Amino acid sequence: MKRTAALLLGAALLGSCYRVPKPTAGISAAVPAARGDSRTLRVFIWSEYIDPDLVKTFEKHSGVRVILDTYESNEAMLAKLQGGGAQYDLAVPSNYVVQTMVRAGLLQPLDRTQLPNLKNIAPGFLNAAYDPGNTYSVPYQYAATGLAFNRSRYVPQDTWAEIFGPEDRLSFVLLDDPREVIGAALKFLGFSANTTRVAELRAARNLLRRVVAKRGFQGFDGGPGTRNKLLAQQIDLGQIYVGDLLIATEENPDVQVLLPRQGTTISMDTLVILKRSASPALAHQFINFILDARNGAQLSNYTYYATPNAAARPHLDDFLKDVPALNPPPSWLRDGRLDFIGELPTGRPQRLYDRIWTELKSR
């Protein structure tokens, strides 16, 4: 998986060298009429990330056909869009990819007047560093990274020390993602998950060296793999995106997830409108539809990911309301305990992150 992602990223860079000529305004205006595109909305999204019934409702509501195409990583999505492959109206990048897409000229600014439901989003999730003023993106759903366990095997304290502490009696896996692993170590040490300070990164590296040398360390894994290992009681603990774990609770209520008190990383997936969109008005209509309170709740009830939509909270399934990990206290956003995984400045810090990760993976 990682290899593929790396290849795709390389491909994206390759693709970005080639500049797709931008269609002039006259032509792009002529496109929808010529192809009847005003009756189709093309959405590029992660798999299983929207309730099909919600899509049907929108189709009925607006009289258009919605085409959902899926991708499996931000990198793959970016590679395809940068190559000028297909025409989509909307995409769902994670927050740290938004600026990359802006710089690549892939996005168009949003028209606020067409998004009255934007008022439903909790203020803490607006105007974030990845897109000041929400010029290009609207929060869709987010995932905090938590500590997952199977309570019939082991019930942990709400601290990263369960993994990063000196003890070595528990078996655990870490997420197969550099920013998540290094980020968690940084949070445990009391630093920002996006730090560029060399001393702080060195401390994280030294800590992680000890952690992966533990006998209990069972390797790096993705969300589904970690979930399966917990269900099969092969490990005590796992670092995981909260949503990826919660979806298994309906089959086995013994698997649970918590957020460590030192704080953790979150990543926000966002809705953006692509510059090449054939029907921006329709795209705005769709975004506004998603931002509706009931629709926002229906999304989370289906995906088990957290909603940034404050008005949607009352409409969530009771089960989801009761999971603390899905609803971190709002104060956590303010006091810096929740860090959005941010884009790293190129140069020394980025190289340090890369080097730490390479070293950990090559053990």
Query: For other proteins, which stretch binds (CB under 8 A), given 76-84, 92-100, 312-320, 351-359?
Result: 76-84
Least distance (Å) between residue 244 CB and other proteins: 6
The count of chain residues that interact with other proteins, using the rule CB under 8 A, is 49
Strand ranges, E, within 1-152: 40-46, 65-71, 90-91, 137-150
232 is a contact residue toward other proteins (CB under 8 A): yes
CB atoms within 10 A of CB 113: 7
- In order of 80, 101, 161, 229, the CA distances from 149 in angstroms are 37, 36, 14, 10
59 is a contact residue toward other proteins (CB under 8 A): no
Q: Residue 105 is encoded by which pair of tokens?
A: 């000229």
From the list 59, 72, 111, 359, which residue makes contact with other proteins (rule: CB under 8 A)? 72
- In order of 71, 130, 208, the CA distances from 200 in angstroms are 35, 22, 12
Q: Tell me if 144 sits within 8 A of 266, measured CB to CB.
A: yes
Nearer to other proteins, 34 or 199 (CB): 34
- Encoded one letter per residue, x for contact with other proteins by CB under 8 A and - for no contact, window 249-288 reads --x-------------------------------------
Query: For other proteins, which stretch binds (CB under 8 A), given 22-30, 110-118, 185-193, 196-204?
Result: 22-30
Number of alpha carbons in the 13 Å side-chain half-sphere of residue 94: 18
From the list 14, 29, 129, 198, which residue makes contact with other proteins (rule: CB under 8 A)? 14
Backbone angles phi, psi at 173, to 5 degrees: -125, 155
Q: Residue 61 is encoded by which pair of tokens?
A: 């509501």
Site residues for other proteins per CB under 8 A: 1, 7-8, 10-11, 14-15, 18, 20-21, 23, 27, 30-31, 34-35, 40, 42, 44, 46-49, 67, 69-73, 76, 79-80, 83-88, 223-224, 227-229, 231-232, 244, 247-248, 251
